[in-house]
């Protein structure tokens, strides 16, 4: 600890003093050679060193968001025959592919202007530009383009990384690559900056992975976590509740039917909830869910019973 | 080795500037900025599109140098020339941003010392924080947009003015939202000056009317008499005060009396007289604040806190107003109340 010196403290409270004003330059010069005053100034201004501009970080963040929205648009607009037909996009908006491509190109130019280089960290901006151009040419399948974009986002230091990992997990899951899907969902949960944006969905998706592995206890636990986190993070709790009903009926433990009934009640009570649930049950990928619900006492409430 | 007249001039000025001065720091940053820009212009690894923008930026700076001569080497001119060049070339480059950040930091500190010396402490803290916002992505994009718009209209763009104006807005916003009463007590004299200024215009007369109205309608006759007795020195003198006339008390209780005397005149114990006085202060401030900010909770934490302190003293069985060390003495409480009342009365002006 440096020896006590009150010059800066006196200067800071000088509006109370009647004399002895020091100029800012004198104070700055003094603080350079006085550790005690330097410390006081640092505490007062939080940090004497000026923080670096957030421009590049924000630009990369926006670039990642544009890439994410572009990939989402590619999946959303993909023909139904592709492997994305069962993928549900939970959040509306995000713009069209063309809008996001344009935004991405502008943001790449901004990052290039700022650094004066085609590289930002490990990322080659020219490669990224080529990837964007490829999404327009559509020589590759949309899902492959989207997957490449999601992978790219996971390499950027940005807030969209957790969402991109979650999407990658979903695409792996659709291909029944369960180990890769689990790794991706866990990566989404491990991301410190953006986990809050994706954790409810990642837990919900993990529940289906566990179900496929035959671990119904883990699946139910994960679905329960997803429901709690969705409510905590202000996300749509429908998907977690949907999974909760299915997985509890599948497990069939003593209290499961009662809990599944409670979850179904919550789904049906929501505006348009009944129609939404029945429509989802009608999807080909949800045939196992429909089957199990129909066979249970809950099926009768929905008019699905035998 | 290419010769760059502007870079040479800036480097020379930096070496001649007083050691450890703001000017030297700014010129050194400018030297570093120009060196980096020239390096990137000459480097074939720099994307051609960016090199073109860099050339445009440097050309704009050189044009300013030609126009301004040696004056360009003064920090404010240099900052403004850089701001203009940013607008002309639409360039946001890290070397330029680094210069702008340091330049505006020292420029801001100097201006705060010069323009708002009494508020320098809190304003400098706002400045240090606000600068980060100003050089964020949105902030820098706004600089480019504003510069382009001004230049398109054939008007000059001053980065220094743009920053100072945004800092002033940020500081006033900070003052409005500050939860620290000390930040407001630091500007008591300014508020006094404001009160004097506003007393000459119509809106201020309205505010004086407002205080009088609250005084007349929301204080009990007993509280009015105690208040006037305590604050009566302003009413004494040869010219009858409109307030004293209004209250029908001129020559009556108005005047500086001791608490024993005041209590005897209103027929209360000294403690009860003091309690009624505090109630009068509370009612006055509450009434003025309600009519200024509207019904509902007080939006200003400092005023709210002072109202709470008054209420807490009123509710104390023994008043306990003698302990000056705790800041709860009558004098301290009245001073705080005066600050709060002035703040509320001036708040229309502040938010305008």
Q: State pLDDT tens for residues A98-136.
A: 899 999 999 999 999 999 999 888 889 999 998 888 887
A57-71, B18-32, B65-79: lowest mean pLDDT where? Answer: B18-32
> Which tokens is A296 given?
């249970």
Interface of B with A in 17-56 (CB under 8 A): 20-22, 36, 40, 45-47, 49-50, 53-54
CB contact under 8 A, B97 and A55: yes
Which residues are within 8 A (CB) of B197 and not within 5 positions of it... i.e. 6 or more apart?
A: B204
Q: How many angstroms separate the CA of residue B336 from the nearest CA in chain A?
A: 15
Mutate to test the interface with B, among A9, A15, A44 (most CBs of B within 10 A): A15
Of all helices (H) and strands (E), which one includes residue B115? helix B94-115
Domain assignment of residue A273, yes or no: no
Q: d(Cα A175, Cα A165) in Å, to the nearest integer?
A: 15
Q: Tell me how many residue pairs between chain A and chain B have CB atoms under 8 A apart.
A: 80
- On whether the pTM is more than 0.90, the answer is no
Residue B115 reports pLDDT greater than 90: no
Residue B43 and residue B140 share a domain: yes
What total number of domains does chain A contain? Answer: 2
Residue B76 reports pLDDT greater than 80: yes
- The domain of A88 spans 54-158
**Residues B159 and B310 sit within 8 Å (Cβ to Cβ):** no
CB contact under 8 A, B92 and A23: no
What total number of domains does chain B contain? Answer: 2
Count Cβ atoms below 10 Å from residue B66 Cβ, excluding itself.
11
| Chain A residues closer than 8 Å to B124 by CB | 45
Domain assignment of residue A104, yes or no: yes
Which residues are within 8 A (CB) of A306 and not within 5 positions of it... i.e. 6 or more apart?
A: A294, A295, A299
Domain assignment of residue A167, yes or no: no
The residue with tokens 């760059």 is B4
Residue B87 and residue B51 share a domain: yes
Residue B197 reports pLDDT greater than 60: no
Residue B226 has a pLDDT of 82
| Chain A residues closer than 8 Å to B29 by CB | none
Interface of A with B in 62-81 (CB under 8 A): 62
- The domain of B225 spans 185-351
Residue B345 and residue B315 share a domain: yes
Angle at A61 between CA A58 and CA A64, to 5 degrees: 150
In this structure, what are the phi and psi dihedrals at residue A119, rounded to the nearest 5 degrees?
-115, 135
> Which tokens is A32 given?
């350079």
Closest CA to A100 of A76, A118, A120: A76
Please tell me if residue B76 touches chain A, with a CB cutoff of 8 Å: no
Residues in chain A: 306
Residue B214 and residue B159 share a domain: no
Residue B204's pLDDT band, with cuts at 50, 70 and 90, is very low
pLDDT tens digits for A185-228? 999 999 877 778 889 999 999 999 999 999 999 999 999 999 99
Q: How many angstroms separate the CA of residue A127 from the nearest CA in chain B?
A: 13
**Residue of chain A whose Cα is closest to the Cα of B51:** A116
Residue A270 has a pLDDT of 87
* Residue where a domain terminates, one of B151, B177, B203: B177
Residue A149 and residue A64 share a domain: yes
Residue B35 and residue B173 share a domain: yes
Residue A17 reports pLDDT greater than 60: no
* Residue where a domain terminates, one of B146, B177, B208: B177
Residue B247 reports pLDDT greater than 60: no
Domain assignment of residue A171, yes or no: no
Mutate to test the interface with A, among B21, B29, B94 (most CBs of A within 10 A): B94
CB contact under 8 A, B128 and A46: yes
Reported ipTM exceeds the 0.85 cut: no
Residue B82 reports pLDDT greater than 70: yes
* Average pLDDT in chain B: 78
Residue A113 and residue A23 share a domain: no
Q: How many angstroms separate the CA of residue B165 from the nearest CA in chain A?
A: 20
Q: d(Cα B77, Cα A25) in Å, to the nearest integer?
A: 21
Residue B321 and residue B227 share a domain: yes
Residue A38 has a pLDDT of 62
Q: How many angstroms separate the CA of residue B193 from the nearest CA in chain A?
A: 16
* Residue where a domain terminates, one of B158, B177, B196: B177
**Residues A239 and A226 sit within 8 Å (Cβ to Cβ):** yes
pLDDT tens digits for A53-78? 789 999 999 999 999 999 988 888 76
Domain assignment of residue A236, yes or no: no
Domain assignment of residue A22, yes or no: yes
* Percent of chain B's residues with pLDDT above 90: 35
**Residues A200 and A91 sit within 8 Å (Cβ to Cβ):** no
């Amino acid at each position: 600890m440096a020896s006590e010196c009150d010059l800066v403290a006196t200067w800071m409270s000088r509006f109370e003093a009647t004399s002895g004003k020091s100029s800012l330059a004198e104070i700055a010069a003094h603080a350079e050679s006085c550790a005690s005053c330097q410390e006081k100034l640092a505490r007062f201004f939080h940090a004497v060193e000026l923080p670096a501009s957030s421009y590049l970080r924000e630009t990369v963040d926006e670039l990642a968001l544009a890439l994410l929205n572009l990939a989402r648009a590619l999946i959303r607009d993909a023909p139904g025959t592709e492997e994305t037909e069962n993928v549900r996009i939970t959040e509306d908006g995000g713009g069209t592919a063309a809008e996001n491509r344009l935004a991405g190109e502008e943001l790449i130019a901004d990052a290039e202007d700022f650094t004066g280089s085609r590289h930002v960290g490990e990322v080659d901006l020219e490669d990224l530009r080529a990837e964007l151009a490829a999404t327009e040419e559509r020589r590759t399948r949309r899902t492959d383009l989207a997957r490449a974009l999601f992978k790219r986002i996971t390499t950027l230091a940005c807030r969209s990384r957790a969402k991109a990992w979650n999407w990658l997990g979903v695409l792996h899951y659709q291909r029944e690559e369960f180990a890769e899907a689990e790794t991706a969902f866990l990566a989404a949960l491990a991301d410190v900056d953006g986990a809050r944006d994706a954790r409810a969905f990642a837990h919900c998706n993990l529940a289906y992975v566990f179900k496929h592995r035959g671990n119904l206890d883990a699946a139910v636990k994960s679905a329960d976590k997803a429901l709690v986190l969705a409510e905590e993070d202000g996300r749509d709790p429908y998907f977690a509740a949907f999974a909760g009903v299915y997985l509890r009926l599948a497990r069939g433990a003593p209290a499961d039917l009662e809990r599944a009934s409670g979850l179904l009640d919550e789904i049906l009570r929501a505006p348009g909830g009944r129609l939404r649930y029945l429509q989802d049950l009608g999807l080909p990928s949800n045939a196992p869910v429909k089957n199990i619900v129909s066979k249970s006492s809950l099926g009768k409430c929905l008019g699905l019973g035998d | 080795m290419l010769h760059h007249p502007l870079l040479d001039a800036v480097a020379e000025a930096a070496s001649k500037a007083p050691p450890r001065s703001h000017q030297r720091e700014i010129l050194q940053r400018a030297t570093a900025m120009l060196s980096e820009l020239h390096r990137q212009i000459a480097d074939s690894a720099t994307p051609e599109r960016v090199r073109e923008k860099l050339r445009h930026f440097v050309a704009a700076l050189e044009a300013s140098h030609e126009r301004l001569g040696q004056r360009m080497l003064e920090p404010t001119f240099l900052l403004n020339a850089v701001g203009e060049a940013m607008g002309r070339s639409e360039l946001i480059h890290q070397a330029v941003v680094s210069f702008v950040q340091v330049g505006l930091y020292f420029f801001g500190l100097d201006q705060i010392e010069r323009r708002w010396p009494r508020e320098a402490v809190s304003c400098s803290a706002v400045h240090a924080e606000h600068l980060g916002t100003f050089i964020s992505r949105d902030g820098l994009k706004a600089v480019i947009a504003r510069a382009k718009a001004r230049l398109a209209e054939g008007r000059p763009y001053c980065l220094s003015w743009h920053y100072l104006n945004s800092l002033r807005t940020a500081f006033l916003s900070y003052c409005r939202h500050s939860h620290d009463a000390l930040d407001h007590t630091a500007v008591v004299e300014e508020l006094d000056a404001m009160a004097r200024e506003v007393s000459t215009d119509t809106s201020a007369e309205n505010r004086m009317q407002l205080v009088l109205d609250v005084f007349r309608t929301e204080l009990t006759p007993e509280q009015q008499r105690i208040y006037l007795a305590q604050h009566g020195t302003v009413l004494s003198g040869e010219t009858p005060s409109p307030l004293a006339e209004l209250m029908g008390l001129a020559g009556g209780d108005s005047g500086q009396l001791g608490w024993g005397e005041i209590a005897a005149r209103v027929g209360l114990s000294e403690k009860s007289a003091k309690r009624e006085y505090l109630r009068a202060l509370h009612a006055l401030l509450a009434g003025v604040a309600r009519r200024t900010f509207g019904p509902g909770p007080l939006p200003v934490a400092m005023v709210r806190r002072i109202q709470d302190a008054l209420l807490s003293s009123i509710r104390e069985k023994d008043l306990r107003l003698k302990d000056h060390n705790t800041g709860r003495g009558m004098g301290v409480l009245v001073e705080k109340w005066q600050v709060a009342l002035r703040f509320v009365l001036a708040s229309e002006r502040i938010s305008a």
